[in-house]
A = this chain, B = another copy of it.
Amino acid sequence: MERHVFYISDRTGISAEILGRALLSQFVEQVKFIEKTIPFIDTVKKAEQFRQLIDETAEKSSLKPIIFDTVVSPDIRAIIRQSSGVVMDFFQTFIGPLEKELNTKSSFSVGRQHSIDRVGLYDGRITAVNFALNSDDGASMKYYDEAETILLGVSRCGKTPTSLYAAMQFGIKAANYPFVAEDMQNLQLPPELKKNKKKLYGLTINPPRLHEIRTERRPNSQYASLEQCRLEIRLVESLYRKEKIPFLNTTSKSIEEITTLVLTACNLERRSF
């Protein structure tokens, strides 16, 4: 069974996608969803065009399209509700109960609209993203004193995506330090890391998965060999244990999960933007 799904918003549509997909993930075994995001529906004219698109889609597929709607303006949402789609309306649903509980009117109700996405380009996030880039892969250890957490691990275990996500999503300054093949002879923490021991968090990964990832990068290399992957992981995990550094196996985890687990373990507060 196929079903058309639309994510719509007066801004980027990212919130509508995230919320809609969370719900649809509970139906993916039974239904194939054909998804489309339409951002910036911020005028009556664009809403009318969207309504027409919905009506046409409904007619073609003879099933009502499902619409996840995070548009703030009641005028625009009224037009969308007149379409042949089934509207899951986030504001409509929760604003009423919140107004009642907070005992006040929302700006939504009184016609002053706030954006629902996060704003501000050169703020803490960008500073944190630049920090992650500048301090990536041990590029410069002088950043470690400024870091809120320092991720350790062998090449391709997930350090860089995690530090970038921590910066972008939560404004956290995460540096990282890679253990490379040459370190394996006599594996130990460099003095710059010892000095910041409370910030250290280790990543590890199952050797067969690491072998797979490295093989994509450099096929048939010593670097990618299963033997080398096994050796590095064994030594690094034993260093984590010896030095009592908390660590996490990233093998079957998403970037979101790894980052959340690191922040929780390091007791770092998420920032919002």
Which A positions have Cβ atoms within 8 angstroms of B?
3, 11-15, 17-19, 21-31, 35, 37, 39-40, 64, 66, 70, 72, 86, 88, 90-91, 93-95, 97-98, 101-102, 104, 106-109, 114-122, 125-126, 129-130, 133, 136, 158, 160-161, 164-165, 168-169, 209, 212-213, 250-261, 264, 270, 272-273
B254/A121 in contact, CB under 8 A: yes
What is the CA–CA distance of A209 and B115 in the complex, to the nearest angstrom? Answer: 22
Q: Determine if B27 and A102 form an interchain contact, defined as CB atoms under 8 angstroms apart.
A: yes
Known: A18-B18, A118-B254. 7 other contacts (CB 8 A): A12-B254, A27-B104, A66-B98, A88-B97, A88-B98, A164-B164, A165-B168
What is the copy number of this chain in the assembly? 2
Are B19 and A101 closer than 8 Å at their CB atoms? no
> Chain B nearest CB: distance from A136 CB in Å?
8
CB-CB < 8 A to A30: which residues of B? 102, 104
With beta carbons under 8 angstroms apart, the residue of B15, B22, B107, B213 that contacts A26 is B107
How distant is the Cα of A258 from the Cα of B272 in the complex, in angstroms? 19
Known: A23-B91, A129-B160. A264 touches B106 (CB 8 A): no
State A167–B82 Cα separation when bound (angstroms).
36
The answer to whether B260 touches A13 (Cβ under 8 A) is: yes
